[in-house]
Chains A and B, each alone.
Chain A
Amino acid sequence: MRYFAYKFSSFLMTFILVSVIIFFVFQMLPGNPAHIILGLDADEQQIRNLEIELGLDRPLPERYFDWVTGIFQGDMGESLRYQLPVADIIQDRLPVTLSLTVLSLLLTVVIGLPLGLYIAQKDGKWTSIVLSILTQLGISIPSFWFGFMLILLFGVVLSLFPTYGYVPWSESFFGALKSFFLPSLAIAISNIAVVIRYLRNTILDQAKMDYVRTAQCKGLSEKAIMYGHILRNGLIPILTILGLTIADTLGGSIIIENVFALPGLGNLLIQSITSRDFPLVQTMILYLSIIVVTINFIVDLLYRLVDPRIRSKG
Protein backbone atom coordinates (compact mmCIF):
# COMPACT_ATOMS: atom_id res chain seq x y z
CA MET A 1 0.00 0.00 0.00
CA ARG A 2 2.84 2.36 0.81
CA TYR A 3 4.36 1.48 -2.52
CA PHE A 4 1.11 2.32 -4.28
CA ALA A 5 0.84 5.64 -2.45
CA TYR A 6 4.41 6.52 -3.44
CA LYS A 7 3.85 5.54 -7.07
CA PHE A 8 0.58 7.41 -7.21
CA SER A 9 2.01 10.59 -5.72
CA SER A 10 4.93 10.53 -8.14
CA PHE A 11 2.48 9.93 -10.99
CA LEU A 12 0.50 12.96 -9.86
CA MET A 13 3.67 15.02 -9.50
CA THR A 14 4.82 14.11 -13.01
CA PHE A 15 1.41 14.96 -14.37
CA ILE A 16 1.41 18.39 -12.69
CA LEU A 17 4.94 19.11 -13.89
CA VAL A 18 4.08 18.08 -17.45
CA SER A 19 1.03 20.33 -17.54
CA VAL A 20 2.95 23.24 -15.99
CA ILE A 21 5.75 22.84 -18.56
CA ILE A 22 3.26 22.83 -21.44
CA PHE A 23 1.34 25.81 -20.04
CA PHE A 24 4.55 27.72 -19.43
CA VAL A 25 5.97 27.01 -22.89
CA PHE A 26 2.84 28.30 -24.58
CA GLN A 27 2.95 31.45 -22.46
CA MET A 28 6.23 32.30 -24.15
CA LEU A 29 4.49 32.74 -27.49
CA PRO A 30 5.10 36.15 -28.96
CA GLY A 31 1.81 38.05 -28.83
CA ASN A 32 -1.27 36.56 -27.21
CA PRO A 33 -4.08 34.52 -28.78
CA ALA A 34 -6.19 37.65 -29.14
CA HIS A 35 -3.55 39.16 -31.43
CA ILE A 36 -3.28 35.93 -33.40
CA ILE A 37 -7.05 35.63 -33.89
CA LEU A 38 -7.66 39.22 -34.88
CA GLY A 39 -4.59 39.62 -37.03
CA LEU A 40 -2.43 42.68 -37.48
CA ASP A 41 -5.01 45.32 -38.31
CA ALA A 42 -7.19 44.96 -35.20
CA ASP A 43 -7.44 48.04 -33.00
CA GLU A 44 -6.62 48.17 -29.30
CA GLN A 45 -10.25 48.09 -28.15
CA GLN A 46 -11.08 44.97 -30.17
CA ILE A 47 -8.06 43.18 -28.76
CA ARG A 48 -8.93 44.24 -25.22
CA ASN A 49 -12.51 42.96 -25.64
CA LEU A 50 -11.41 39.59 -26.97
CA GLU A 51 -8.80 39.30 -24.22
CA ILE A 52 -11.54 39.69 -21.63
CA GLU A 53 -13.74 37.24 -23.51
CA LEU A 54 -10.97 34.65 -23.62
CA GLY A 55 -10.07 35.34 -20.01
CA LEU A 56 -6.56 36.53 -20.86
CA ASP A 57 -6.80 39.39 -18.36
CA ARG A 58 -6.87 37.01 -15.41
CA PRO A 59 -3.73 36.03 -13.50
CA LEU A 60 -1.64 33.13 -14.84
CA PRO A 61 -2.16 30.60 -12.01
CA GLU A 62 -5.92 31.02 -12.31
CA ARG A 63 -5.82 30.42 -16.05
CA TYR A 64 -3.59 27.38 -15.59
CA PHE A 65 -5.97 25.94 -13.03
CA ASP A 66 -9.00 26.52 -15.27
CA TRP A 67 -7.24 24.90 -18.21
CA VAL A 68 -6.25 21.75 -16.33
CA THR A 69 -9.59 21.27 -14.57
CA GLY A 70 -11.35 21.89 -17.87
CA ILE A 71 -9.53 18.95 -19.43
CA PHE A 72 -10.98 16.59 -16.83
CA GLN A 73 -14.46 17.99 -17.26
CA GLY A 74 -14.26 17.47 -21.02
CA ASP A 75 -14.04 21.21 -21.62
CA MET A 76 -10.82 21.70 -23.53
CA GLY A 77 -11.56 25.09 -24.97
CA GLU A 78 -12.21 25.98 -28.57
CA SER A 79 -10.07 25.70 -31.69
CA LEU A 80 -9.31 28.99 -33.42
CA ARG A 81 -9.33 27.50 -36.89
CA TYR A 82 -12.27 25.12 -36.72
CA GLN A 83 -14.36 27.20 -34.29
CA LEU A 84 -15.32 23.90 -32.67
CA PRO A 85 -14.75 22.52 -29.17
CA VAL A 86 -11.29 20.94 -28.99
CA ALA A 87 -12.82 17.85 -27.34
CA ASP A 88 -14.98 17.16 -30.40
CA ILE A 89 -12.09 17.55 -32.82
CA ILE A 90 -9.86 15.24 -30.79
CA GLN A 91 -12.63 12.66 -30.48
CA ASP A 92 -12.97 12.73 -34.26
CA ARG A 93 -9.29 12.05 -34.84
CA LEU A 94 -8.62 9.67 -31.99
CA PRO A 95 -9.81 6.40 -33.66
CA VAL A 96 -7.16 6.71 -36.39
CA THR A 97 -4.26 7.24 -33.99
CA LEU A 98 -5.58 4.57 -31.65
CA SER A 99 -5.90 2.02 -34.48
CA LEU A 100 -2.35 2.80 -35.61
CA THR A 101 -0.97 2.45 -32.11
CA VAL A 102 -2.79 -0.78 -31.32
CA LEU A 103 -1.99 -2.40 -34.66
CA SER A 104 1.63 -1.36 -34.41
CA LEU A 105 1.91 -2.78 -30.88
CA LEU A 106 0.29 -5.97 -32.09
CA LEU A 107 2.83 -6.24 -34.91
CA THR A 108 5.64 -5.63 -32.42
CA VAL A 109 4.44 -8.45 -30.19
CA VAL A 110 3.50 -10.87 -32.98
CA ILE A 111 6.74 -10.37 -34.92
CA GLY A 112 9.15 -9.29 -32.19
CA LEU A 113 8.49 -11.88 -29.48
CA PRO A 114 8.65 -15.13 -31.52
CA LEU A 115 11.53 -13.86 -33.63
CA GLY A 116 13.36 -12.69 -30.51
CA LEU A 117 12.79 -16.02 -28.75
CA TYR A 118 13.95 -17.96 -31.78
CA ILE A 119 17.06 -15.86 -32.25
CA ALA A 120 17.90 -15.79 -28.55
CA GLN A 121 18.40 -19.54 -28.60
CA LYS A 122 20.94 -19.35 -31.39
CA ASP A 123 24.09 -18.73 -29.49
CA GLY A 124 27.13 -18.13 -31.62
CA LYS A 125 29.71 -15.45 -32.17
CA TRP A 126 28.72 -14.64 -35.72
CA THR A 127 24.97 -14.81 -35.16
CA SER A 128 25.28 -12.31 -32.36
CA ILE A 129 27.40 -9.95 -34.47
CA VAL A 130 25.11 -10.04 -37.50
CA LEU A 131 22.14 -9.71 -35.19
CA SER A 132 23.48 -6.73 -33.31
CA ILE A 133 24.16 -4.91 -36.59
CA LEU A 134 20.77 -5.81 -38.07
CA THR A 135 18.79 -4.79 -34.99
CA GLN A 136 20.84 -1.60 -34.70
CA LEU A 137 19.90 -0.91 -38.32
CA GLY A 138 16.24 -1.35 -37.43
CA ILE A 139 16.64 1.24 -34.68
CA SER A 140 18.57 3.65 -36.92
CA ILE A 141 16.17 3.81 -39.87
CA PRO A 142 14.00 6.94 -39.77
CA SER A 143 10.47 5.56 -39.46
CA PHE A 144 9.08 7.97 -42.04
CA TRP A 145 11.72 6.96 -44.56
CA PHE A 146 11.00 3.30 -43.87
CA GLY A 147 7.38 4.25 -44.61
CA PHE A 148 8.51 5.58 -48.01
CA MET A 149 10.34 2.35 -48.71
CA LEU A 150 7.27 0.31 -47.78
CA ILE A 151 5.17 2.48 -50.11
CA LEU A 152 7.71 1.92 -52.85
CA LEU A 153 7.91 -1.84 -52.35
CA PHE A 154 4.37 -2.89 -51.41
CA GLY A 155 2.38 -0.07 -52.91
CA VAL A 156 4.16 0.60 -56.17
CA VAL A 157 6.27 -2.41 -57.14
CA LEU A 158 3.99 -5.14 -55.79
CA SER A 159 0.80 -3.00 -55.54
CA LEU A 160 -0.47 -5.04 -52.59
CA PHE A 161 -1.47 -2.19 -50.31
CA PRO A 162 -2.91 1.28 -50.78
CA THR A 163 -0.14 3.85 -50.40
CA TYR A 164 -2.16 6.83 -49.22
CA GLY A 165 -5.50 7.60 -47.75
CA TYR A 166 -7.66 6.09 -45.12
CA VAL A 167 -10.62 3.74 -45.03
CA PRO A 168 -12.67 3.94 -41.81
CA TRP A 169 -13.33 0.70 -39.93
CA SER A 170 -17.07 1.25 -40.27
CA GLU A 171 -16.79 1.27 -44.05
CA SER A 172 -14.80 -1.89 -44.60
CA PHE A 173 -12.89 -3.93 -42.05
CA PHE A 174 -10.33 -5.29 -44.48
CA GLY A 175 -10.06 -1.98 -46.27
CA ALA A 176 -9.23 -0.29 -42.97
CA LEU A 177 -6.80 -3.04 -41.99
CA LYS A 178 -5.07 -2.65 -45.34
CA SER A 179 -4.80 1.11 -45.05
CA PHE A 180 -3.34 0.82 -41.53
CA PHE A 181 -0.96 -2.05 -42.22
CA LEU A 182 1.99 -0.27 -43.86
CA PRO A 183 1.98 2.74 -41.50
CA SER A 184 1.80 0.44 -38.47
CA LEU A 185 4.68 -1.63 -39.79
CA ALA A 186 6.73 1.53 -40.36
CA ILE A 187 6.25 2.51 -36.71
CA ALA A 188 6.78 -1.03 -35.42
CA ILE A 189 10.13 -1.73 -37.09
CA SER A 190 12.31 0.02 -34.50
CA ASN A 191 10.27 -1.43 -31.63
CA ILE A 192 10.64 -4.92 -33.07
CA ALA A 193 14.41 -4.40 -33.17
CA VAL A 194 14.40 -3.19 -29.56
CA VAL A 195 12.33 -6.17 -28.37
CA ILE A 196 14.64 -8.63 -30.14
CA ARG A 197 17.77 -7.05 -28.65
CA TYR A 198 16.25 -6.95 -25.22
CA LEU A 199 14.90 -10.47 -25.28
CA ARG A 200 18.23 -11.87 -26.40
CA ASN A 201 20.18 -10.06 -23.68
CA THR A 202 17.72 -11.10 -20.98
CA ILE A 203 17.71 -14.73 -22.02
CA LEU A 204 21.48 -14.91 -22.30
CA ASP A 205 21.76 -13.31 -18.84
CA GLN A 206 19.21 -15.67 -17.32
CA ALA A 207 20.95 -18.69 -18.87
CA LYS A 208 24.00 -17.95 -16.71
CA MET A 209 21.98 -18.04 -13.49
CA ASP A 210 22.38 -20.74 -10.86
CA TYR A 211 18.83 -21.96 -11.13
CA VAL A 212 19.46 -22.91 -14.74
CA ARG A 213 22.45 -24.99 -13.75
CA THR A 214 20.37 -26.65 -11.06
CA ALA A 215 17.69 -27.46 -13.63
CA GLN A 216 20.32 -28.88 -15.96
CA CYS A 217 21.75 -31.01 -13.17
CA LYS A 218 18.44 -32.50 -12.34
CA GLY A 219 18.24 -33.58 -15.97
CA LEU A 220 15.55 -31.29 -17.37
CA SER A 221 15.49 -30.97 -21.15
CA GLU A 222 16.72 -27.74 -22.71
CA LYS A 223 13.18 -27.02 -23.85
CA ALA A 224 11.74 -27.43 -20.38
CA ILE A 225 14.41 -25.15 -18.94
CA MET A 226 13.79 -22.52 -21.59
CA TYR A 227 10.01 -22.44 -21.38
CA GLY A 228 9.51 -23.42 -17.76
CA HIS A 229 12.25 -21.37 -16.16
CA ILE A 230 14.14 -18.89 -18.29
CA LEU A 231 11.16 -17.44 -20.10
CA ARG A 232 9.12 -17.05 -16.94
CA ASN A 233 11.82 -14.84 -15.53
CA GLY A 234 12.81 -13.23 -18.79
CA LEU A 235 9.35 -12.12 -19.83
CA ILE A 236 8.82 -9.89 -16.82
CA PRO A 237 11.23 -7.16 -17.90
CA ILE A 238 9.68 -7.36 -21.37
CA LEU A 239 6.59 -5.75 -19.85
CA THR A 240 8.58 -2.62 -19.12
CA ILE A 241 9.94 -2.56 -22.65
CA LEU A 242 6.44 -2.91 -24.08
CA GLY A 243 5.30 -0.09 -21.81
CA LEU A 244 8.03 2.15 -23.19
CA THR A 245 7.08 0.98 -26.65
CA ILE A 246 3.58 2.40 -26.29
CA ALA A 247 5.01 5.88 -25.82
CA ASP A 248 7.33 5.43 -28.80
CA THR A 249 4.48 4.14 -30.92
CA LEU A 250 2.32 7.12 -30.07
CA GLY A 251 5.22 9.44 -30.86
CA GLY A 252 5.93 7.55 -34.07
CA SER A 253 2.37 7.91 -35.28
CA ILE A 254 2.73 11.71 -35.16
CA ILE A 255 5.16 11.55 -38.10
CA ILE A 256 3.78 8.48 -39.87
CA GLU A 257 0.25 9.87 -40.12
CA ASN A 258 1.73 12.70 -42.15
CA VAL A 259 3.58 10.29 -44.46
CA PHE A 260 0.48 8.24 -45.24
CA ALA A 261 -1.99 11.16 -45.04
CA LEU A 262 -4.02 9.51 -42.26
CA PRO A 263 -6.43 11.91 -40.51
CA GLY A 264 -5.29 11.19 -36.94
CA LEU A 265 -4.06 13.27 -34.03
CA GLY A 266 -0.52 13.58 -35.40
CA ASN A 267 -1.79 14.86 -38.70
CA LEU A 268 -4.07 17.33 -36.89
CA LEU A 269 -1.21 18.44 -34.65
CA ILE A 270 1.06 19.41 -37.53
CA GLN A 271 -1.78 21.14 -39.40
CA SER A 272 -2.70 23.09 -36.28
CA ILE A 273 0.89 24.19 -35.77
CA THR A 274 1.10 25.35 -39.38
CA SER A 275 -2.14 27.33 -39.04
CA ARG A 276 -1.03 28.58 -35.59
CA ASP A 277 -4.11 27.22 -33.86
CA PHE A 278 -2.41 27.24 -30.46
CA PRO A 279 -5.30 26.42 -28.11
CA LEU A 280 -5.72 23.19 -30.05
CA VAL A 281 -1.96 22.46 -30.14
CA GLN A 282 -1.53 23.11 -26.43
CA THR A 283 -4.37 20.84 -25.40
CA MET A 284 -3.40 18.08 -27.83
CA ILE A 285 0.14 17.97 -26.51
CA LEU A 286 -1.13 17.71 -22.94
CA TYR A 287 -3.60 15.04 -24.02
CA LEU A 288 -0.92 12.90 -25.70
CA SER A 289 1.45 13.25 -22.73
CA ILE A 290 -1.28 12.34 -20.22
CA ILE A 291 -1.85 9.12 -22.14
CA VAL A 292 1.85 8.25 -21.85
CA VAL A 293 2.17 9.17 -18.17
CA THR A 294 -0.93 7.12 -17.36
CA ILE A 295 0.26 4.10 -19.32
CA ASN A 296 3.65 4.22 -17.58
CA PHE A 297 1.88 4.32 -14.24
CA ILE A 298 -0.28 1.31 -15.14
CA VAL A 299 2.73 -0.65 -16.41
CA ASP A 300 4.51 0.09 -13.14
CA LEU A 301 1.62 -1.37 -11.20
CA LEU A 302 1.27 -4.38 -13.51
CA TYR A 303 4.95 -5.07 -13.18
CA ARG A 304 4.52 -5.41 -9.46
CA LEU A 305 1.53 -7.64 -9.86
CA VAL A 306 3.39 -10.00 -12.16
CA ASP A 307 6.59 -10.21 -10.17
CA PRO A 308 6.01 -11.17 -6.55
CA ARG A 309 9.61 -10.37 -5.68
CA ILE A 310 9.01 -6.68 -6.30
CA ARG A 311 5.79 -6.89 -4.33
CA SER A 312 7.49 -8.16 -1.21
CA LYS A 313 10.21 -5.53 -1.42
CA GLY A 314 7.72 -2.64 -1.28
Chain B
Amino acid sequence: MMTKPKSIPLFIGISLVVTISITMLISFFYTPYDPNEIHSASRLSSPSAEHLFGTDNFGRDILSRIMEGSQTAFLTGFSAVSIGLTVGLVIGACAGYFEGWLDELLMRFVDALLAFPGILLAIMLVSVFEPGMGSTIVALGIMSIPTFARIIRGSIIQYKKFDFVQASIAKGAGSLRIIFRHLLPNITSPILVAASLSFSGSVLAESGLSYLGLGVQPPDPSWGRMLKEAQPYITSAPWYVITTGLVITLMVLGFNLLGDGIRDSNDNRA
Protein backbone atom coordinates (compact mmCIF):
# COMPACT_ATOMS: atom_id res chain seq x y z
CA MET B 1 0.00 0.00 0.00
CA MET B 2 1.20 3.50 -0.80
CA THR B 3 0.18 5.44 2.28
CA LYS B 4 0.28 4.16 5.82
CA PRO B 5 -3.21 4.15 7.37
CA LYS B 6 -2.09 6.63 10.02
CA SER B 7 -1.30 9.29 7.46
CA ILE B 8 -4.67 9.04 5.71
CA PRO B 9 -6.20 12.02 7.56
CA LEU B 10 -3.16 14.11 6.61
CA PHE B 11 -3.51 12.93 3.02
CA ILE B 12 -7.20 13.91 2.96
CA GLY B 13 -6.32 17.26 4.52
CA ILE B 14 -3.65 18.00 1.92
CA SER B 15 -5.98 16.94 -0.94
CA LEU B 16 -8.72 19.26 0.30
CA VAL B 17 -6.36 22.20 0.79
CA VAL B 18 -4.75 21.71 -2.63
CA THR B 19 -8.10 21.32 -4.43
CA ILE B 20 -9.57 24.44 -2.85
CA SER B 21 -6.36 26.42 -3.40
CA ILE B 22 -6.32 25.51 -7.08
CA THR B 23 -10.00 26.44 -7.42
CA MET B 24 -9.21 29.76 -5.78
CA LEU B 25 -6.34 30.41 -8.19
CA ILE B 26 -8.51 29.48 -11.19
CA SER B 27 -11.20 31.91 -10.04
CA PHE B 28 -8.88 34.82 -10.79
CA PHE B 29 -8.95 33.90 -14.48
CA TYR B 30 -12.10 31.94 -14.97
CA THR B 31 -15.50 31.41 -13.38
CA PRO B 32 -18.33 29.61 -15.26
CA TYR B 33 -20.42 32.79 -15.15
CA ASP B 34 -19.94 36.37 -14.05
CA PRO B 35 -20.47 36.01 -10.26
CA ASN B 36 -22.44 39.25 -10.08
CA GLU B 37 -24.49 38.94 -13.24
CA ILE B 38 -28.21 38.97 -12.44
CA HIS B 39 -30.56 36.74 -14.43
CA SER B 40 -34.05 37.31 -13.11
CA ALA B 41 -35.39 34.69 -15.51
CA SER B 42 -33.45 31.88 -13.85
CA ARG B 43 -33.97 32.74 -10.18
CA LEU B 44 -33.42 29.92 -7.69
CA SER B 45 -33.01 27.22 -10.30
CA SER B 46 -31.87 23.88 -8.95
CA PRO B 47 -28.48 22.37 -9.79
CA SER B 48 -28.23 21.33 -13.44
CA ALA B 49 -25.60 20.80 -16.11
CA GLU B 50 -25.80 24.53 -16.84
CA HIS B 51 -25.50 25.66 -13.23
CA LEU B 52 -23.71 22.92 -11.30
CA PHE B 53 -24.61 24.35 -7.88
CA GLY B 54 -27.84 26.04 -9.05
CA THR B 55 -28.60 29.77 -8.91
CA ASP B 56 -29.45 32.16 -6.09
CA ASN B 57 -32.38 34.52 -5.51
CA PHE B 58 -31.05 36.92 -8.16
CA GLY B 59 -30.36 34.18 -10.67
CA ARG B 60 -26.60 34.44 -10.08
CA ASP B 61 -24.54 31.29 -10.56
CA ILE B 62 -23.76 29.88 -7.09
CA LEU B 63 -20.63 27.99 -8.15
CA SER B 64 -19.12 31.15 -9.61
CA ARG B 65 -19.95 33.06 -6.44
CA ILE B 66 -18.44 30.36 -4.24
CA MET B 67 -15.29 30.39 -6.38
CA GLU B 68 -14.99 34.15 -6.04
CA GLY B 69 -15.71 33.90 -2.31
CA SER B 70 -12.73 31.57 -1.88
CA GLN B 71 -10.46 34.56 -2.59
CA THR B 72 -11.93 36.37 0.41
CA ALA B 73 -11.62 33.28 2.59
CA PHE B 74 -7.94 32.81 1.71
CA LEU B 75 -7.16 36.52 2.01
CA THR B 76 -8.77 36.90 5.45
CA GLY B 77 -7.32 33.60 6.68
CA PHE B 78 -3.82 34.40 5.46
CA SER B 79 -3.80 38.00 6.69
CA ALA B 80 -5.27 37.11 10.08
CA VAL B 81 -2.67 34.38 10.59
CA SER B 82 0.11 36.80 9.57
CA ILE B 83 -1.03 39.38 12.12
CA GLY B 84 -1.56 36.79 14.84
CA LEU B 85 1.77 35.11 14.17
CA THR B 86 3.77 38.35 14.11
CA VAL B 87 2.30 39.81 17.30
CA GLY B 88 2.14 36.39 18.96
CA LEU B 89 5.79 35.80 18.11
CA VAL B 90 6.90 39.04 19.74
CA ILE B 91 4.77 38.43 22.85
CA GLY B 92 5.57 34.72 23.13
CA ALA B 93 9.31 35.15 22.50
CA CYS B 94 9.66 37.98 25.03
CA ALA B 95 7.61 36.15 27.66
CA GLY B 96 9.39 32.84 27.17
CA TYR B 97 12.91 34.20 26.80
CA PHE B 98 12.98 36.79 29.57
CA GLU B 99 10.41 35.15 31.90
CA GLY B 100 9.91 36.90 35.27
CA TRP B 101 7.51 39.82 35.62
CA LEU B 102 7.42 40.54 31.89
CA ASP B 103 6.25 36.98 31.27
CA GLU B 104 3.58 37.30 33.96
CA LEU B 105 2.32 40.60 32.54
CA LEU B 106 2.23 39.46 28.91
CA MET B 107 0.57 36.16 29.73
CA ARG B 108 -2.13 37.87 31.81
CA PHE B 109 -2.84 40.02 28.75
CA VAL B 110 -3.07 36.89 26.61
CA ASP B 111 -5.38 35.29 29.20
CA ALA B 112 -7.56 38.38 29.08
CA LEU B 113 -7.90 38.00 25.30
CA LEU B 114 -8.88 34.36 25.82
CA ALA B 115 -11.59 35.35 28.28
CA PHE B 116 -13.84 36.54 25.47
CA PRO B 117 -16.03 33.57 24.57
CA GLY B 118 -16.06 32.41 20.95
CA ILE B 119 -16.04 35.22 18.44
CA LEU B 120 -17.07 37.85 20.98
CA LEU B 121 -13.65 39.55 20.82
CA ALA B 122 -13.90 39.82 17.04
CA ILE B 123 -17.50 41.04 17.31
CA MET B 124 -16.42 43.76 19.73
CA LEU B 125 -13.59 44.94 17.50
CA VAL B 126 -15.59 45.03 14.26
CA SER B 127 -18.51 46.75 15.99
CA VAL B 128 -16.29 49.68 16.92
CA PHE B 129 -14.68 50.05 13.52
CA GLU B 130 -16.43 50.36 10.20
CA PRO B 131 -17.49 46.82 9.21
CA GLY B 132 -15.67 45.45 6.17
CA MET B 133 -12.84 43.22 5.05
CA GLY B 134 -10.11 45.32 6.72
CA SER B 135 -11.64 45.42 10.19
CA THR B 136 -12.56 41.74 9.93
CA ILE B 137 -8.95 40.83 9.19
CA VAL B 138 -7.59 42.93 12.06
CA ALA B 139 -10.18 41.51 14.47
CA LEU B 140 -9.46 37.90 13.48
CA GLY B 141 -5.73 38.58 13.64
CA ILE B 142 -6.01 39.87 17.20
CA MET B 143 -8.21 36.91 18.06
CA SER B 144 -5.47 34.48 16.98
CA ILE B 145 -2.66 36.15 18.96
CA PRO B 146 -3.14 34.03 22.13
CA THR B 147 -2.67 30.69 20.35
CA PHE B 148 0.65 31.74 18.82
CA ALA B 149 1.89 33.55 21.91
CA ARG B 150 1.24 30.55 24.14
CA ILE B 151 2.77 27.97 21.83
CA ILE B 152 5.87 30.04 21.11
CA ARG B 153 6.37 30.89 24.79
CA GLY B 154 6.03 27.23 25.80
CA SER B 155 8.48 25.97 23.18
CA ILE B 156 11.04 28.66 23.95
CA ILE B 157 10.99 27.85 27.67
CA GLN B 158 11.41 24.18 26.77
CA TYR B 159 14.32 24.71 24.37
CA LYS B 160 16.08 27.32 26.47
CA LYS B 161 17.26 24.58 28.83
CA PHE B 162 19.16 22.78 26.08
CA ASP B 163 22.94 22.91 26.10
CA PHE B 164 23.30 24.51 22.68
CA VAL B 165 21.27 27.50 23.83
CA GLN B 166 23.03 27.73 27.17
CA ALA B 167 26.32 27.56 25.32
CA SER B 168 25.51 30.53 23.12
CA ILE B 169 24.29 32.50 26.12
CA ALA B 170 27.62 31.74 27.77
CA LYS B 171 29.41 32.81 24.60
CA GLY B 172 27.72 36.18 24.97
CA ALA B 173 25.41 36.01 21.97
CA GLY B 174 22.66 38.64 21.94
CA SER B 175 19.09 37.78 22.88
CA LEU B 176 17.75 38.50 19.40
CA ARG B 177 20.38 36.27 17.81
CA ILE B 178 19.63 33.44 20.18
CA ILE B 179 15.89 33.75 19.61
CA PHE B 180 16.09 33.95 15.82
CA ARG B 181 19.10 31.76 15.05
CA HIS B 182 18.80 29.08 17.69
CA LEU B 183 15.33 28.92 19.18
CA LEU B 184 12.90 29.68 16.36
CA PRO B 185 14.34 27.22 13.79
CA ASN B 186 13.69 24.46 16.31
CA ILE B 187 10.06 25.32 16.85
CA THR B 188 8.91 25.76 13.26
CA SER B 189 6.72 22.69 13.32
CA PRO B 190 4.55 23.67 16.31
CA ILE B 191 4.24 27.12 14.72
CA LEU B 192 3.20 25.51 11.44
CA VAL B 193 0.57 23.45 13.25
CA ALA B 194 -0.75 26.52 15.03
CA ALA B 195 -0.79 28.48 11.76
CA SER B 196 -2.79 25.79 10.01
CA LEU B 197 -5.32 25.52 12.83
CA SER B 198 -5.70 29.25 13.26
CA PHE B 199 -6.12 29.64 9.49
CA SER B 200 -9.12 27.33 9.63
CA GLY B 201 -10.34 29.07 12.77
CA SER B 202 -10.18 32.43 10.99
CA VAL B 203 -12.08 31.13 7.98
CA LEU B 204 -14.75 29.78 10.32
CA ALA B 205 -14.93 33.01 12.31
CA GLU B 206 -15.06 35.15 9.16
CA SER B 207 -18.03 33.18 7.87
CA GLY B 208 -19.74 33.63 11.24
CA LEU B 209 -19.09 37.37 11.37
CA SER B 210 -20.20 37.86 7.78
CA TYR B 211 -23.30 35.77 8.43
CA LEU B 212 -24.15 38.15 11.28
CA GLY B 213 -23.67 41.06 8.87
CA LEU B 214 -20.67 42.37 10.81
CA GLY B 215 -17.89 40.97 8.63
CA VAL B 216 -17.15 41.31 4.94
CA GLN B 217 -19.56 43.72 3.24
CA PRO B 218 -20.82 43.69 -0.36
CA PRO B 219 -19.55 44.05 -3.05
CA ASP B 220 -16.73 41.93 -1.57
CA PRO B 221 -17.79 38.30 -1.96
CA SER B 222 -18.06 36.20 1.18
CA TRP B 223 -19.33 32.72 1.97
CA GLY B 224 -20.78 33.75 5.30
CA ARG B 225 -22.68 36.56 3.66
CA MET B 226 -23.98 34.14 1.01
CA LEU B 227 -25.35 31.95 3.79
CA LYS B 228 -27.10 34.97 5.29
CA GLU B 229 -28.71 35.66 1.93
CA ALA B 230 -29.54 31.97 1.47
CA GLN B 231 -31.30 31.51 4.81
CA PRO B 232 -34.76 32.78 3.72
CA TYR B 233 -34.70 30.26 0.85
CA ILE B 234 -33.72 27.32 3.02
CA THR B 235 -36.86 25.36 2.03
CA SER B 236 -37.43 26.67 -1.47
CA ALA B 237 -33.78 26.43 -2.57
CA PRO B 238 -31.96 24.10 -0.16
CA TRP B 239 -29.04 23.67 -2.58
CA TYR B 240 -28.03 27.30 -1.93
CA VAL B 241 -27.35 26.74 1.80
CA ILE B 242 -26.11 23.18 1.34
CA THR B 243 -23.44 23.87 -1.28
CA THR B 244 -22.14 27.08 0.31
CA GLY B 245 -21.93 25.63 3.82
CA LEU B 246 -20.38 22.43 2.55
CA VAL B 247 -17.55 24.34 0.90
CA ILE B 248 -16.82 26.26 4.13
CA THR B 249 -16.82 22.98 6.06
CA LEU B 250 -14.48 21.27 3.59
CA MET B 251 -12.02 24.16 3.65
CA VAL B 252 -11.97 24.30 7.45
CA LEU B 253 -11.73 20.50 7.62
CA GLY B 254 -8.84 20.51 5.17
CA PHE B 255 -6.72 22.91 7.23
CA ASN B 256 -7.68 21.20 10.50
CA LEU B 257 -6.62 17.78 9.19
CA LEU B 258 -3.45 19.32 7.79
CA GLY B 259 -2.53 20.88 11.14
CA ASP B 260 -3.36 17.73 13.04
CA GLY B 261 -1.47 15.58 10.57
CA ILE B 262 1.69 17.66 10.86
CA ARG B 263 1.49 17.38 14.64
CA ASP B 264 1.00 13.61 14.55
CA SER B 265 3.85 12.99 12.13
CA ASN B 266 6.16 15.03 14.38
CA ASP B 267 5.10 13.10 17.46
CA ASN B 268 6.05 9.87 15.76
CA ARG B 269 9.46 11.11 14.85
CA ALA B 270 10.27 12.24 18.37
Binding site for B on A (CB under 8 A): 10, 13-14, 17-18, 21-22, 25-26, 28-29, 125-126, 129, 132-133, 136-137, 139-145, 148-149, 151-152, 156, 247-248, 250-252, 254-255, 258-259, 269-270, 273-274, 281, 285, 288-289, 291-293, 296
Instruction: Give the distance to chain A from B265, nearest Cβ to Cβ, in Å.
Output: 13
Interfacial residues, chain B to chain A (CB-CB below 8 A): 5-6, 8-9, 12, 108-109, 111-113, 115-120, 123-125, 127-128, 200, 204, 207-208, 211-214, 224, 227, 231, 234-235, 238, 241-242, 245, 248-249, 252-253, 256-257, 260
Task: Find B9's partner among A22, A136, A144, A291 (CB 8 Å cutoff).
Answer: A136
Given contacts A10-B108, A148-B234, whether A296 and B115 have CB atoms under 8 Å apart is: yes
CA distance A250 to B115 in the complex (A): 11
Could you write out 27 A-B pairs with CB less than 8 Å apart?
A: A17-B111, A18-B112, A18-B116, A21-B113, A22-B124, A125-B5, A129-B5, A133-B8, A137-B249, A137-B253, A140-B252, A141-B252, A142-B207, A145-B207, A149-B245, A151-B234, A152-B242, A156-B235, A251-B119, A251-B120, A254-B119, A258-B211, A285-B120, A285-B123, A285-B124, A289-B116, A292-B117
Chain A residue, CB-CB nearest to B224? A142
CB–CB B241/A145 < 8 A: yes
A293 to B115, CA, bound (A): 6
Q: Give the 3 A-B CB pairs with smallest separation, nearest first.
A: A251-B118, A251-B117, A145-B245
Which single member of A14, A143, A151, A252 contacts B111 (CB below 8 Å)?
A14
Cβ distance A276 to chain B, nearest Cβ, rounded Å: 9
Q: In whole angstroms, what is the CA distance A251 to B205 when docked?
A: 11
Measured in the bound complex, the distance between the Cα atoms of B207 and A141 in whole Å is 11
Q: How far is it, in angstroms, between the C-alpha of A137 and the C-alpha of B253 when the chains are bound?
A: 6
Main secondary structure of the interface of B (DSSP, over half): helix
Q: Which residues of A contact B241 (CB under 8 A)?
A: 145, 148-149, 152
User: Beyond A144-B227, A254-B123, A270-B212: 5 further Cβ-contacts under 8 Å?
Assistant: A129-B9, A141-B252, A149-B241, A152-B235, A251-B117
CA distance A250 to B117 in the complex (A): 6
Q: Which residues of A contact B214 (CB under 8 A)?
A: 270, 273
